[in-house]
Structures are given as C-alpha cells and as structure tokens.
Structure 1
C-alpha cells in the first residue's frame, strides 16, 4: 500500500461499534489532570441530554490503544451500580488529513453536575449532619459494590466523587483501578504502590507494600469523610516521608505493636519514622466533627494496620448511619445551587487571601488541615490550618 492508499483506507475505515464523537457538541471543559481532559457535552439529537466526555490520551500511539485506557474501559463495562459512574459508550473522531490521520477516542459518561471537592470548596454549600451521612453512606455503598466485584479503585479523593443534582453520588475516574485477587498458595501479589494521590495515600502504600487490597480505598474514604467537616484535605504532605509524619501525628507512631508485620514492609527501616506519637484521631477531629458516632467511625477507618481497618460492610453497619438524624436526601440542598461545582473550576485563591495559607504552612507539623474557607466566597480546598483555628465553625 502506498501512502495515498493508506490515508484513503484510514479515512474511510468504519468502526461498526464506535460512533463518531460529532454526535455530541462540547460545551465546556470541566476537568484536567494526568488522565487528560474532560468536557461537558450535549447530544445533538436530544439537546436536553448532557454527557461528560473524557479524552483518551494517545501519547504513545506506536503501542496501539493505551493499555491503561483498555483496563479502565473493561472495568467500567463490568461495573453497573447506582453509585458508580455509568459509561455510555466509546466514541471517536474521524481520521483526516487535518488530524494527521490520528483518531481521538472519548469515553462518554452520564453527566454529573458536581464533584465533592468542588462542593466543599464553596463556603455557600452547607451540609447538614443527615446530608453528610447520605454522602458517606453512598460512598461506602459504591466501595462495597466494587470490592465485591474484586476491583480496587486506587485513587480515592474528593475530586473523584461525583454528585448529581438529584443527590446521587458516583465513584469516578477508574484510570488507576485494577482487579485484585486473594493471595493463593503463598503466591504474593506484586501491585505497584505508586497509586493514590499523596494526601489520601494509606500508610501501607507509603511503606512500599505491594500485596495490598480493599483497605487502601477505605483509608481514602476516611480522609474524605473527615473532609466533609474540615472542608479541606486533612493531611497535606509535600513528600512521602512528610505524609508518613502527618499520619503518625494523627494516628500514632507506626510500630509492630500497633501493626504486627509492618517491619517486613520494604521501606519500614529505610524511612525515619516518628517515634512516641500517641493516637489522637478523635481528639483532633472532635472540634470539627462534634458528632461522637462520626468520630468513632473515622477512628475505625483511619487505622494504621490495614488488617484492622474497617471494611465497607462494617462501616455501613456502624451506628453513625443508624442513629438520628438519619441519612437524608441531598436534592433539596443542591437545588439551591444551580451552577455546577467542580474542583477544576473552583477559582484559585487570590494573592490577597493567602495569609492564612502561609500561617498554615509554617505550622504544617500539626497534622489536621482545615479550610480557610471563610477567606473568600469560593476557595480551592486550602492548606493545613491548625490548632489555633479550631474554634472556627464550618
């Protein structure tokens, strides 16, 4: 085939199960990350129907279709649940001379109006205790479902938790997800531990564990749950050793006494761990959380030893969800907010509003971060703000 024939062949090639992306009209960019870009779009045939289109990054197209995207698609096709994003289809652009005969592929999802990081960064969005319970209950339901299907999410964070305007929560971004298996006849899993955004990364991954499972997602769920009150990620380390220090200052020193077997993890003796720290999860979070059963559940999720950390089933059975106020519908509260809120769209903090941020950085060693949200109308979740600020009400 000469070049002309090749180009003609590519241009006229028909993908029978993959519609053209031109059936959708892009309206706005709503996300950007290592995974690529996400757009809000409407279906041209039925303009009232909105979707989210996630561009598949084809950086290394010599290798063909990216293996990570194939894994994500395979997992999303398997998972069908109210609390997991719904993949509608994969669509593509036409290969033409204009795009150097390179097709772009998009994953097309049902559109969700908000992500949790966007909602929490807006001081005008106020969750009642019953509404917080509903958010966390749905989050744990989603995790229970994916773990029952032997899938690990591996990137739990507030920005990956979507919420529709009718108040339905969806776990999103399965770009780092993978299937897991129980270790059989002494064969140990060797998964990569370079997963999960640093602030939400559990201690076993930071210590180099490669034979991990669902508890890695439950640690993230605990961090997200605390954030429902603090309005900002609770442990904001800049490096892995610093993240471990923040974890130790909140959850107590990492020792074989509290975590049998930890000494066998690859980095246990290579990283200098803080000694002599007492566990202060309840004590530190009580000023924000106030509800005793919420503090107790947080205490059971943020457990150093993954074997002792609550799983989603135990968490869903915790008194927190079965005492007044009961988990309640979010749609009434969300109806007051007609503009979509996504972490990507939250305005950055303006220079004049950085004072608390700097104050926080100077006191970074204290571990629990709380938003300086009162500073601006809408803020990015801010850096760690500490003990002196604990009487602030959010």
Structure 2
C-alpha cells in the first residue's frame, strides 16, 4: 500500500448516520431494523451508545447505514472528521480519533471491489484478529467492518468467531487499526543517511515481526519498503495484511511484491512457491534497499548496477532472479559498490545475512528466527 501525505478531510453529514429503509421492506415493518445475516431480529435503536456486536462469541449483526464511513464512525464512536492519509489498492486510508482521543487509521474499501474482498477467515486482516498476543513491530488490527455486497448493511467484528457460516455475500468494507507513527521505509531511507547501527535496528525489528508471523504458521506475502513504516523513536511496524495467509504450504496464488527469485519462479503447475521463502527473500530485498537505496528488481546484469528501467512484472522478476543467481562473492561485491555513504565501512555480518536471504534456492535461505539470532550478535 502506498502511503502518501495528503490533505483534506471528510466532514460527516448529519443525515449520513440515519438508517435507510431496507429494500423490499415487508409491510408494517419500519425502516432501520437490525439483521442477523439473512434473518430479521429485534430492532436496536441508534440512540443506544454501543451498538457494536463485538463481545467474544457473539454473532455478526448487520445494520442499515447510508455509507460504510457512517457505519464505522458509529460502531467505533469516532469523531466526525477523518483526515486522508493515503491511497491503497482498493480504497482510501484515513486518520481519525475516537471519543477517548485515541488515534486510529481506517482503511475504507470501495464497494466496486467487493468481489475481490470477500471475507475469508484464513486470509488477510480477518486472520490477523486471531493473533492472541500483540507484537510490537506488527500493526494492531482493532476491528473490521463487514459489508453486505447487495445492500448497504454493515456490522463490526473483533474476532473471526463472530462470522456466520455463510460468507457468500460478505466483504471486508473497512479495517480499523492503530495509527502507525512515522513514514514508509522507502521514504525514510531516501531522506535519512543511516549508519550501520541504524540499519541493524531496522533489520532486527523487521526480522522479529516476520519470525512471529511464521511461528504462528502464517505468511505475509507482501513485505516491501512501502509496507514497512518506521519512526526512529516509535520503531518499525509491518503493515498491510491484505495478502496475509494461514498455512505454510506451497501455494500458486501469488498476490504480493515482486521478489519471486530463482527456484521460486518455477511454473505454478510444478507446485507453486513456498510462501515462507517468499517472505524471506522479500525481507532480504527490503534490507538491500536500506543498504544501497536500490531495488533488486532494477538490477542490470549488463553492468552490475541497479538502473534497469523495466517496469513490467515479468521484467522485474527476471531482474531480481539475475541478481539472486550471482555467486555470493559477486553479490557481496555488487552490494558493497553501491553502499550508501555512511555504510562504506560496515562489517560483513549484516551483508552476509542479506546475501543468504537472497539465495536462489529457497531451501538454503536463513529462517527469520536465524536472522534475529545473528543480528542480536552484531
């Protein structure tokens, strides 16, 4: 997700939080009824302070609203003003506050993409809600607004256990998370000349987050410089869990960044790719960028530089694979020749870890836990 600094705000209109009459409302039924998915249940007044059905074990309840933003404001008791933070693949990201002055981020998806955002307890932000313990380097998901594809009905969940069995016409409408401080790692590296200590700090926090995800038998599958936020004081946060997936088995569904390298690029009919190994090579590519300010997907084999202008998916994968297929000695030589100014005299340990993460054979890459252990010894 690209996070760009933006201005402007959405000012709530008074009528946005009035309920719409339900389509095909039965005679004698007043508008504004409450629906357990597919079934009408007892009416709940909007005058009640808390209408969110988010107690552990409670079922998802859908309510009629004019818009998703009106729904999420009411469910989460948000202040009316929502300031635009940036744009994602399927919608906008806003900053807002609740009545307790807590800063939150709300990712609002366009209904046009509802078919692509179907609720799946085994993928994405919904799965992240199952994490029992919070990791300091992973963005915390607070709640998810579930929408009905056919009618403007919405309900909030804070646990996948609240979902009904029939998910056919439900989609992820909004994701409410903590407001992450700092800027994207891409922007931070462009604007800051880090020394070796600073790079190791970033690397260690990222590896710790990835190790936690893998320990919980999940994979991120979209680790990139734009999906890592960093602030020197607050630290690092891994964000954007739209590609997050349960399970460590090989898969053919590729949805993340472009660091499929070496044997990862085998045709999908030969078993697909290893999502754990993908996370590791993506992490290696992120730290390569931190060291050099260069992207592996722009590697130019003709002159061992990172100036190849290709922008297509296959072209970028090819370039990344060409770098990965270099010998370890040549990789080290190329990276060393492109190190940022304050890293010219850095020791070999951090560099060796990056090279091992970018090995063309997925089975020979360091695990995230091994990376943590090696970085802690630097």
Same fold (TM over 0.5): yes
> Which residue is 1:307 aligned to?
363
* Cα RMSD for the two superposed structures: 3.3
> Which residue is 1:73 aligned to?
125
> Which residue is 2:331 aligned to?
281
CA displacement, residues 344-383 of structure 1 (integer Å, 9 cap, x when unaligned): xxxxxxxxxxxxxxxxxxxxxxxxxxxxxxxxxxxxxxxx
Figure out how many residues of one structure are paired with residues of the other and give that number.
282
CA displacement, residues 177-233 of structure 1 (integer Å, 9 cap, x when unaligned): 111245xxxxxx4x22432222x3334443335141311101011011111122242
Q: Please say if 1:192 is aligned against 2:252.
A: yes
Give, in whole Å, the separation in 2 of the partners of 1:108 and 1:317: 33
The verdict on how the C-alpha distance between 1:68 and 1:6 changes in structure 2, with shifts beyond 3 A counting, is farther
> Which residue is 1:132 aligned to?
199
> Which residue is 2:278 aligned to?
216
CA contact (8 A) 2:260 2:320 kept: no
CA displacement, residues 89-115 of structure 1 (integer Å, 9 cap, x when unaligned): 23479x9xxx97354842111111222
Equivalent of residue 146 in structure 1, options 199, 213, 223 = 213
Give, in whole Å, the separation in 1 of the partners of 2:317 and 2:236: 30
Give, in whole Å, the separation in 1 of the partners of 2:140 and 2:122: 16
* 1:87-166 alignment, distance < 5 Å: 87-91=141-145, 101=152, 103=154, 105-114=173-182, 115-121=184-190, 123=191, 125-164=192-231, 166=233
* 1:1-394 alignment, distance < 5 Å: 3-5=24-26, 11-13=32-34, 16-17=52-53, 20-22=72-74, 23-25=77-79, 26-43=81-98, 45-47=99-101, 49-59=102-112, 61=114, 66-67=118-119, 71-79=123-131, 80-91=134-145, 101=152, 103=154, 105-114=173-182, 115-121=184-190, 123=191, 125-164=192-231, 166-182=233-249, 189=250, 191-198=251-258, 200-209=259-268, 210-236=272-298, 237-252=310-325, 280-287=330-337, 288=339, 289-290=343-344, 291=346, 292-318=348-374, 320-323=375-378
CA contact (8 A) 1:40 1:50 kept: yes
CA displacement, residues 281-319 of structure 1 (integer Å, 9 cap, x when unaligned): 10111130532222211111110000001111221222x
Task: Answer 1 or 2: which has greater strand percent.
Answer: 2
> Which residue is 2:15 aligned to?
none
Deviation at residue 239 of structure 1 after TM alignment: 3.0
Q: Secondary structure at the match of 2:363?
A: coil
CA displacement, residues 26-54 of structure 1 (integer Å, 9 cap, x when unaligned): 442223222422111111x123x211111
CA displacement, residues 62-93 of structure 1 (integer Å, 9 cap, x when unaligned): x6971358732332112331121111123479
TM-score normalized by the length of structure 1: 0.62
Q: Secondary structure at the match of 1:11?
A: coil
Give, in whole Å, the separation in 2 of the partners of 1:201 and 1:152: 15
TM-score normalized by the length of structure 2: 0.65
CA contact (8 A) 1:251 1:279 kept: no
Give, in whole Å, the separation in 2 of the partners of 1:244 and 1:193: 16
- Please, which runs of 5 or more residues in structure 1 have no aligned partner? 183-188, 254-276, 324-394
